[in-house]
A and B are shown apart, each in its own frame.
Chain A
Amino acid sequence: MILQILLSGIATGCIYGLVALSFVLVYKATEAVSFMQGELLMVGAFAAVALTAAAGWPVWLAVAVAVAGMALAGALVERLALRRAMGQPHLTAVLLTFGLGLMLRGGVTTVPAATHSAHQLPLPGLMGQVEIGTLTVSLAHLGVIAATVLSCAALAAFFRFSRAGLALRACSENPRIAAMMGVSTTGMHTLAWALGAALAALAGILMAPVTFVHPGMGVVALKAFPAAVIGGMHSLPGALAGGVFIGVAEALAGRYLPEGANHVTAYVLMLVALLCFPRGLFAGRAT
């Protein structure tokens, strides 16, 4: 029983963690506080659904194209809009991304097919359940955890071994010195937004087998803020760990605390973290 709660908590937490990762990636590189990660997540999931259901593409191809397309969209949004908010107070980017998010959510809502029926993304191999001993495990949960681990490993390898990854890290650490070393900081901002949007889209696609795909699914991104704060706002591994921590805490609160408590768990934890651990629960070296 407790194992099952933990597992579903970890799976939900992986989603939170991925969104938090996308948020922190953008925040570290461009100092923009993004309120549109939830909408990017939702659009990514819808893109995958549309490509499979309407265009009849094979699922894996649709997923790959949706993630790549969202990366492109993220780069475009940075080029066209967010670049203008650089160097302004936080609120400028907050309002800008919130407005863009509203446009995305409204835009998807105007498509009748998107709102009139609930959609699910049939990821093969991730439907149904499997029995391990006395434990009944949902394959979707296992799939989410595995996909998160894989994509984080790929992201870590990108940051560790590729030239662009190194440049992005340098740019997040100190943009001025990075620019002196020949790194194109504006290019890195675009890259950060592309990666951020792709990660958010991936989170949305991974959510699809667990919940339905609908225009309001972006609210899950509100949990990215507590996850990022608990992770210390500046640490990518911290954001992921923060997300998993919140997912597990919510699952436990849902089981052992009065009804409704699990809805505020994340925010209470965020307040506690700000009060007691202002540098994040896992304060360590920044990546």
Chain B
Amino acid sequence: MRSALTLIGLVVLTVLALGLDYGLGQLAFVATWAVAGLGLVIILGQSGQISLGHGAFLAVGAYLQAGWVAMGGPALLGLAVALAGGALLGALASLPGRRLGGLAFGMSTLAVALIVEEALVRFGGLTGGASGLSVPPMTLAGWAVVDPLHQCAVSAAVLALALMACRRLLNSRLGRAWRAVRDDEGAASASGVDAGHAKLLAFAVGGALGALAGALYAHWLGYLSPEQFGLHLSFELLMLVFVGGASRLMGAVWGAVVIVALPQAIALLRDTLPDGVANMAGLELVAFGLVLVAVVLWRPAGLVR
């Protein structure tokens, strides 16, 4: 209840501070990133595995949605297609690490992400290649979602559905299996939990949520290019979960608030600096790195708490 009130307060504050349209647009992004964060919370926090290439799932969702809408498919069904595509890629990406667990998942998801990024550039006929691809606005039963308010409403609805679905999953047999595998894989296996299966499903669910977020992102941004989904995005999502906390689902929402607010804060900070310093290239990289390092050093056990 308290977190719900804080959330409402935050929404009001954002809209007041940034103006109606811009504020709502930013909130749409917060809700979208939170959906992607939920997937990582399940992989990292619930089942205790690691994904270093989560950007690839968003990329697959975004490009599937863009392709589907371009072919004239209804956007809502496109979200389902993206969901399925993400789940499939998540399951596939987890296969090589299945027997080893831990870091091997990190390595296999990293490899899949780098391969996906290269494939997006290489198959330019389908994806627009490095020069990018524009995506039409989302239309739901003849209603075009272009207004920031409507985008925000759609994202919030998707986030709410995703949260409810995740909550149900965590209270199900599968959710218990994930936590058992996370806490002690050997004991879980000895108690009849199929650990390999549980890990595979964690990556499938995580990939599906990532792709769902990617599909929304494609519409909100209206333009896709492969470098949006590179290693940097994967690490931003990891930071999101680290900041928000991986032990609970709402962590994804809080983390998303921080991740969307961070570039704005850096831009604001930049305005206060003298011109000579503010115009230096690479300042954003330094600032982002500094925040990341500070957060990790401040709370090295961010994940477990």
Contact = CB atoms under 8 A, between A and B. Distances in A.
A264 B302 CA distance: 33
Contact of A100 (B95, B282, B287, B293): B293
A102 interface: yes
A222 to B, nearest CB: 7
B50 A103 contact: no
B168 interface: no
B103 A278 contact: no
B114 interface: yes
Nearest to A96: B296
B197 interface: no
A231 interface: no
B278 to A, nearest CB: 11
A275 to B, nearest CB: 5
Interface residues of B, number: 49
Nearest to A276: B96
A109 B285 contact: yes
A112 to B, nearest CB: 8
A115 to B, nearest CB: 6
A92 B301 contact: yes
A267 B56 CA distance: 14
Nearest to B296: A96
A108 B238 CA distance: 25
A89 B43 CA distance: 14
Contact of A263 (B50, B118, B284): B118
B186 interface: no
A110 B297 CA distance: 24
Could you say which of B103, B121, B282, B291 has the most chain A C-beta atoms within 10 Å of its C-beta?
B282
Interface stretch (A80-88, A119-127, A129-137, A236-244): A80-88
Contacts of B239: 95
B229 interface: no
A91 B118 contact: no
A262 B8 CA distance: 50
A182 interface: no
A260 B117 CA distance: 12
A105 interface: yes
Contact of A109 (B50, B99, B281): B281
Contact of A278 (B104, B114, B286, B292): B104
Interface centre among A101, A271, A275, by most chain B C-beta atoms within 10 angstroms, is A271
Nearest to A92: B300
Nearest to A267: B111
Interface in A31-55: 33
Contacts of B102: 90
Given A84-B297, A274-B96, A275-B96, A91 B44 contact: yes
Contact of B112 (A85, A88, A233, A271): A271
Nearest to A36: B289
Given A33-B106, A89-B304, A103-B286, A278 B293 contact: no
A257 to B, nearest CB: 12
B282 A109 contact: yes
Contacts of B99: 278
B283 interface: yes
Contact of A99 (B106, B114, B292): B292
Interface of A: 33, 81, 84-85, 88-92, 94-96, 98-110, 115, 215, 222, 225-226, 229, 233, 260, 263-264, 267-268, 270-271, 274-275, 278
